[in-house]
Structure 1
Amino acid sequence: MSLAEHYAGTNCAISFELFPPKTSEGIDKLCNNVKRLMDFNPSYFTCTYGAGGSTQGTTLEVLKCVREITGLPVASHLTCVGLTAEQLADYLTEAKTLGVEHIVALRGDPPKGTDKFEAVNGGLHYANQLVDLIREKFADDFGIAVAGYPEVHQEASDAQTDLDNLKRKVDSGADIIITQLFYDNADFYRFRDACVKAGIQVPIVPGLLPVTNFKQAQRIASMCKAGIPSVLESAMGESDEADYQFKVGVDHARQQTIDLVENDAPGIHYYVLNKSDAAEKLLDGLSLGVDC
């Protein structure tokens, strides 16, 4: 099934991203939150994947659990970091056997302690090569998502170079683009317009992460080079009280969601950090999802 099919309807499709917990207790908590997130009619769930294969088993365990709980399609992240093309193909074979329907194909960040990505001997250098590998060896067995960067990838020399790289990933066979998180919708709209002008025709799905405290917002902005609008920064800086900061961050994500829907976003991908409380608050009362 193509990932693009999830966005073919008239409703705004939503999806949720998880990460592999370190303990069995963490997996139990994650699965409980997944059950609560099902109230919002998601189309699918994704789970991140540790660099160099460090969470291969846990990622697949999470996806197997989510698939059993929800009956929905699931997507595994997969990066080129630390793995040969043969090892990547082996992982894809295992994922297929376990019923994983989709792959989020990424180059991956350089390992900790290094500033530059280096492919291992026999490995892949770019995400478009990973998309090529999937399409060559698995044809249409997987839907494929790739990453887009509304505020430009931090390693790209300029916006046009970043856009050219994105188009190569799409031309290699990606079904959709899921963006990195952003906090100003104007950045997404500029990015979407540039993609259309470049001839990119696949669905471009905005990715949102509601910030629930000011320090988190600052840390994430630093890591992802995502700008924080002055109005959000000012509001979150008014009080250190946890409930207040949670409300401000969730309200901002809710307004982002409403605005994106009104401006024809085909869907929204929520980075929920294995929790459900922020997503529940921001989505409450909004008519999104596959059954709406």
Structure 2
Amino acid sequence: MKIRDILKEENKTFLSLEFVPPERGGSIDNIIRVMDTLMSFSPSFINITNHPPITHYVEMENGIAKMRLSKRPGTIGLAVAMKYRYPSVEVIPHIVCKGLSKYQLEDLLIELNYLGVENLFVIRGDAGVSDGNERPKDEWKYAKDLVKQISNMNKGVYLYPVDNAVPTNFCVGVAGYPEKHYESLNFEEDIQHLKEKIESGADFVITQMFFDLDVYKRFVDAAREANIDIPIIPGIKPVVSLRSLRNIPKRFFVNIPSELVKSMQEAKTPKEEWMAGIRYMSKLVERLLDYGVPGIHVFTMGHGKSTKDLLKAVFGRQRVTGQFL
């Protein structure tokens, strides 16, 4: 089922989850265990993250070898494994511009089409990971370019000339930044970049994490003023320790409200920190639901307990059947 169709269903606020593939050489067993524990909340879809390859220097028997590898490969494999293990849940792999040429991306999109993957989440990828002259010659510079490529394939227009090409049928999501992307000069410029991705063919937006309802409302209002009328799904991250809270601004360039900081600083034990984080985030989710968001997207980072505790705090122990109650 296309995410655009899920979003059109009336009187339904859905739950979606995001998982990170295991590190190279790891196992997906823990992700499966986490997903099994969260299935009682009836998630509508799950995202599988992806990151471009970066240069590594590896000590080998014959010396130091330079190679470009992804720290967490397996996005497509994990997405397909989850798709067939949980047939009631839609799966969305992240597709990244960086590290692949536009022709390699076309091949990848064809593979995904054959595998029956209908939904994609398109991002540019972190700046700087395609190192200088090692960057593929025909690499897309921006997410909007890849969105346009997918939109063209949905019309039967491929990069490589093909007669009587069969159109693909992908639904595409893109990222939005309620506090602006760190590379944008200002908030207004960032909204313009988002609009360009929508005009290229995106169907929905999932936001970067945020911790203040007013931040999300301001972002949505600015998007609507810019004539961006597709659904904007809020992204939420359970935060249950002061240590992890301190790391978030350095990695994601977002602001942490004083109320959350104070409540966790005043905690006397790790358990109290955990409960302070769950209380604050559950209150935020409740306010988002009251505001009328289309759904709640939870960045699990593979940690099932904090996600489950957050969802239980909002919805109690009652099973959520197809919509939030």
TM over 0.5: yes
Runs of 4+ in structure 1 over 3 Å off: 23-26, 111-114
Q: Which has the greater radius of gyration?
A: 2
**Alignment-derived partner of residue 136 in structure 1:** 152
**Alignment-derived partner of residue 204 in structure 2:** 176
Q: How does 1:81-230 map to 2 (within 5 A)?
A: 81-111=98-128, 120-139=136-155, 141-230=169-258
Per the alignment, in what secondary structure is the counterpart of residue 108 of structure 2?
A: helix
Question: Where does structure 2 lack aligned partners over 5 or more consecutive residues?
Answer: 54-68, 156-167
Give the direction of change, closer, same or farther, for the CA distance of 1:289–1:198 in structure 2 (3 Å limit).
Answer: farther
**Alignment-derived partner of residue 280 in structure 1:** 308
Asked if the contact 1:3/1:102 (under 8 Å) is kept, the reply is yes
Separation in 1 of the partners of 2:250 and 2:135? Answer: 25
Separation in 2 of the partners of 1:289 and 1:157? Answer: 43
Per the alignment, in what secondary structure is the counterpart of residue 192 of structure 1?
A: helix
Asked if the contact 1:2/1:175 (under 8 Å) is kept, the reply is no
Normalising by structure 1, we get a TM-score of 0.92
Q: Does 1:40 align with 2:58?
A: no
Per the alignment, in what secondary structure is the counterpart of residue 81 of structure 2?
A: helix
Q: CA-atom RMSD, angstroms?
A: 2.2
* Greater helix share, structure number: 1
Structure 1 range deviating more: 273-282 or 37-46: 273-282
Per the alignment, in what secondary structure is the counterpart of residue 273 of structure 1?
A: coil
Structure 1 range deviating more: 148-157 or 90-99: 90-99
Paired positions, count: 290
Question: Where does structure 1 lack aligned partners over 5 or more consecutive residues?
Answer: none
Structure 1 range deviating more: 40-49 or 281-290: 281-290
Separation in 2 of the partners of 1:81 and 1:158? Answer: 24
- The residue identity in structure 2 corresponding to 1:236 is M
Shift of 1:23: 5.8
Asked if the contact 1:150/1:191 (under 8 Å) is kept, the reply is yes
**Alignment-derived partner of residue 292 in structure 2:** 264
**Alignment-derived partner of residue 81 in structure 2:** 65
Normalising by structure 2, we get a TM-score of 0.83
Asked if the contact 1:51/1:81 (under 8 Å) is kept, the reply is yes
Considering Cα pairs closer than 8 Å and 6+ residues apart, tell me whether 1 or 2 has the greater RCO. 1
- The residue identity in structure 2 corresponding to 1:60 is I
- The residue identity in structure 1 corresponding to 2:39 is M
Asked if the contact 2:172/2:201 (under 8 Å) is kept, the reply is yes
Asked if the contact 1:107/1:125 (under 8 Å) is kept, the reply is yes
Per the alignment, in what secondary structure is the counterpart of residue 46 of structure 1?
A: strand
Separation in 1 of the partners of 2:183 and 2:37? Answer: 37
- The residue identity in structure 2 corresponding to 1:129 is D
Shift of 1:243: 1.6
Asked if the contact 1:179/1:205 (under 8 Å) is kept, the reply is yes
Per the alignment, in what secondary structure is the counterpart of residue 11 of structure 1?
A: coil
